[in-house]
Structure 1
Amino acid sequence: MKKRLSQIGAGLVVAAAAVIAWIWWGPGPAEKATRVTIPDGVALQRATDYLHYAGVVDNRTVFYYLARLLGEGDPVQAGEFEIPKGASYSSVLDIIQHGRPVVRLITIPEGTPSIIVQEKLAAIPELTGPAPLPPEGSVLPSSYDWQRGESRAAVLGRMTAAMTKELDALWAKRKGDCPVTTKQEVLTLASIVEKETGKPAERRMVAGVYCNRLKMGMKLDADPTVIYPITKGKPLGRRILRSELNAITGYNTYREPGLPRGPIANPGKESIAAVLDPAPTKALYFVADGTGGHVFADTLDQHNANVRKWYDIRRARGRCSGV
């Protein structure tokens, strides 16, 4: 009799173990791939509630105790996680303990003004908190990952930290003789270079022209600096007015010599590098060449001839040649 009871007991243990194994490693209840967000600071028991509400765990009590019994005991991560269809309890626990959160990206193109950075952050509904307006020139253009529920200030903090790190690295390698003596001046001139040319191969040449002008005390005569105080860096959408060319704003390099009072956009690392290592050139002028690039000149006579060619191109395209 005792032997029989022992066999029954052993059978029950085996059966129970099989049931537990099936519950833990067998197919889970998720009917489709599901994203679950685990807030920061949440422990396993509270995380189980989020998994249950999302439909990837059907019995939170069983999941919790099996996780304590069979899991590795590692802490739960914060973030948004992709749970595959039919994921087992074991897989679900592994994902929230060791898996990589869902990566979402916000891209800041080179030359983006800070007001657009602020608007981009504000337009992401999954982020939290207010969208700060970063100081102009403080954000490194790049793509940045963010997670659901993260604060906008935290995402912006990574953008500005990236600029600080990149600027420090480039500053340490600076060469050439451009008369920019501080990192802020570098950012200011780099932002003008960024706005003046869309061709990467021209950046060092444009930087060389502006460095030459600064050495000689010539005005920079950069259209983007006239536009900045009007639109905060957004496209003007029309021709610059004569009154705007004459306005004293702290940014208008047609009226005021030297650099404007600060950056007019967030320059990329290539434009920063161009200012810290400009092309060796005697050029003092440049004008559009009709192909998206520019033609450079050492003298005013050469420049005026290039300008006339540009006006001919504009007229041939049906555009007015005035300012």
Structure 2
Amino acid sequence: MWKHIAANFLTIAIVLLMAVAGVVAWGQRQYVGPGPLAEAICVKVPKGGTLSRFADDLAAQGAISNRYIFRVGADYSDRSGQLKAGSYLIAPGASMEEIIAEATGLGVSTCGTEVNLRIGVAETNVVVSDLDPATGQLAELAKFDPAKGPVPDDFAALVGEPDVRLRVTVVEGVTSWQVIDALSRVDFLSGEIKDIPAEGTLAPQQYEVERGAVRADLVARMSAAQEKTLAELWEKRADGLPYASPEEALIMASIVEKETGVPGERALVASVFLNRLAQGMKLQTDPTVIYGITKGQGVLGRGLRQSELRGRTPYNTYVIDGLPPTPIANPGADSIAAALNPEKTDYLFFVADGSGGHAFAKTLAEHNDNVARWRAIEAEQGAGN
């Protein structure tokens, strides 16, 4: 009899163990498998937020199918106490495992509100945007010039929110003075920068920063990024270029950057200037003359005068031979690549063609025809205003 009872007990235990194992296996599949979310959402974890509240928010928005499995999975993976304040973009079909990894990772918000100091050639603005999770597009909420204002009343409080992303964007072609001037005008950075970095040595790109980030440290990141880009592209340079050093290539890249904003033209523009150097011609490029006047401290805001085109400065390439002594702006990676791997052409001239690009010419006669066409376009545009 006792053997029969023991056998039945063992059978029941085995069945229960199998049932438990089945439940565990089912729960694991629920935790790591695709979730029910049909469209991307943005979920906010407030400062001091709990895993239980986070699970409730996710379930309410249809991102997870079972709160209990979500919490157990987080506990089992030792992530339940690692929740970080922020706003997190949850992709369609994201698993519970992926969601908890997103919210307990680096703590960098991937959606919600973004504050971006955009340092441009003609203007600098602080742009406040909000990410639409469905489209992945940023919708602009506010924009202001930190040098002029007015600063929105709630801006300081907004920047203090833990889930707001802070970024600094350096646009191709800005000068080092413009970068330092702009950085000094926003309160979410700290510290002073005593010296303006050498022209051309700051990488134009987007930088994510934290509140109170030290300005000098950010500038060091910019310098390191540009140094790395220049070194990598220098190793891949074409044969036969006239540069004595990477720094000379950087000077050429800055001229290319200022002469065209059309990506497909950069290597052509570089070929024109290299062809001129090869033939002993002067570069004759207006942006260098302008830099000699402004020293990179803002834009000229008017056309060049004939006296300025004739005046001798180290940057007047209508007067001096060869390259100017330093870059005239901070060129992006594409312009550096163009200076180091230019197109092989016979072009010696270019002028605006009315479409936003340029018309290139091999001879002065062809160039004069292109100039005449451009002046006719300018006249038509002037008559239409």
TM-score scaled by structure 2? 0.58
Partner of 2:258: 195
Is the partner of 1:145 in helix, strand or coil? Answer: strand
**Structure 1 contact 199–293 (Cα < 8 Å) conserved:** yes
Partner of 1:143: 206
2:332 & 2:180 partners in 1: Cα distance?
17
Larger RCO (alpha carbons 8 Å, 6+ apart): 1
Go from structure 1 to structure 2 and tell me whether the alpha carbon gap of 1:309 and 1:162 turns closer, same or farther (over 3 Å shift). Answer: same
Partner of 2:319: 255
**1:181 paired residue among 244, 247, 267:** 244
**1:123 paired residue among 179, 182, 185:** 185
Q: State the 1:215 CA deviation.
A: 1.0
TM-score scaled by structure 1? 0.68
Amino acid of the structure 2 residue aligned with 1:168: A
**Structure 1 contact 176–278 (Cα < 8 Å) conserved:** no
Q: State the 1:145 CA deviation.
A: 1.3
Go from structure 1 to structure 2 and tell me whether the alpha carbon gap of 1:284 and 1:176 turns closer, same or farther (over 3 Å shift). Answer: farther
Correspondence 1:165 to 2:228: yes
1:217 & 1:107 partners in 2: Cα distance?
38
Q: State the 1:177 CA deviation.
A: 2.8
Alpha-carbon displacement from aligned partner over 1:232-284 (angstroms, at most 9, x marks no partner): 33321111011111121101101111000100000000000001111000010
Partner of 2:22: none
Q: How many residues align?
A: 237
**Structure 2 contact 314–325 (Cα < 8 Å) conserved:** yes
Please give the root-mean-square deviation of Cα atoms over the aligned residues, in Å: 2.4
Go from structure 1 to structure 2 and tell me whether the alpha carbon gap of 1:165 and 1:302 turns closer, same or farther (over 3 Å shift). Answer: same
Structure 2 unpaired stretches of 5+: 1-43, 49-77, 88-100, 110-164
Mapping of 1:292-307 within 5 angstroms? 292-307=356-371
Partner of 1:226: 289
Partner of 2:280: 217
Partner of 1:100: 107
Correspondence 1:245 to 2:248: no
Partner of 2:71: none
Mapping of 1:51-62 within 5 angstroms? none
Go from structure 1 to structure 2 and tell me whether the alpha carbon gap of 1:314 and 1:304 turns closer, same or farther (over 3 Å shift). Answer: same
Amino acid of the structure 1 residue aligned with 2:324: P
Amino acid of the structure 2 residue aligned with 1:82: A
1:119 & 1:82 partners in 2: Cα distance?
32
1:95 & 1:164 partners in 2: Cα distance?
32
Partner of 1:114: 176
2:196 & 2:45 partners in 1: Cα distance?
37
**Structure 2 contact 276–348 (Cα < 8 Å) conserved:** yes
Q: State the 1:95 CA deviation.
A: 11
2:86 & 2:238 partners in 1: Cα distance?
51
Partner of 1:272: 336
Amino acid of the structure 2 residue aligned with 1:138: T
**Structure 1 contact 286–303 (Cα < 8 Å) conserved:** yes
1:249 & 1:96 partners in 2: Cα distance?
57
**Structure 1 contact 110–267 (Cα < 8 Å) conserved:** yes
1:284 & 1:83 partners in 2: Cα distance?
54
Is the partner of 1:214 in helix, strand or coil? Answer: helix
**Structure 1 contact 176–276 (Cα < 8 Å) conserved:** no
2:219 & 2:360 partners in 1: Cα distance?
38
Is the partner of 1:217 in helix, strand or coil? Answer: coil
Q: State the 1:100 CA deviation.
A: 2.1
Q: State the 1:124 CA deviation.
A: 2.0
**Structure 1 contact 218–257 (Cα < 8 Å) conserved:** yes
Q: State the 1:98 CA deviation.
A: 5.9
1:123 & 1:82 partners in 2: Cα distance?
27
Partner of 1:90: none
Correspondence 1:82 to 2:85: yes
Structure 1 unpaired stretches of 5+: 1-31, 37-71, 85-93
1:137 & 1:215 partners in 2: Cα distance?
24
Correspondence 1:134 to 2:197: yes
1:82 & 1:133 partners in 2: Cα distance?
36
1:208 & 1:285 partners in 2: Cα distance?
10
Q: State the 1:123 CA deviation.
A: 1.9
Amino acid of the structure 2 residue aligned with 1:124: V
Go from structure 1 to structure 2 and tell me whether the alpha carbon gap of 1:196 and 1:166 turns closer, same or farther (over 3 Å shift). Answer: same
2:270 & 2:102 partners in 1: Cα distance?
49
1:317 & 1:95 partners in 2: Cα distance?
53
Partner of 2:32: none
Amino acid of the structure 1 residue aligned with 2:178: I
Go from structure 1 to structure 2 and tell me whether the alpha carbon gap of 1:259 and 1:134 turns closer, same or farther (over 3 Å shift). Answer: same
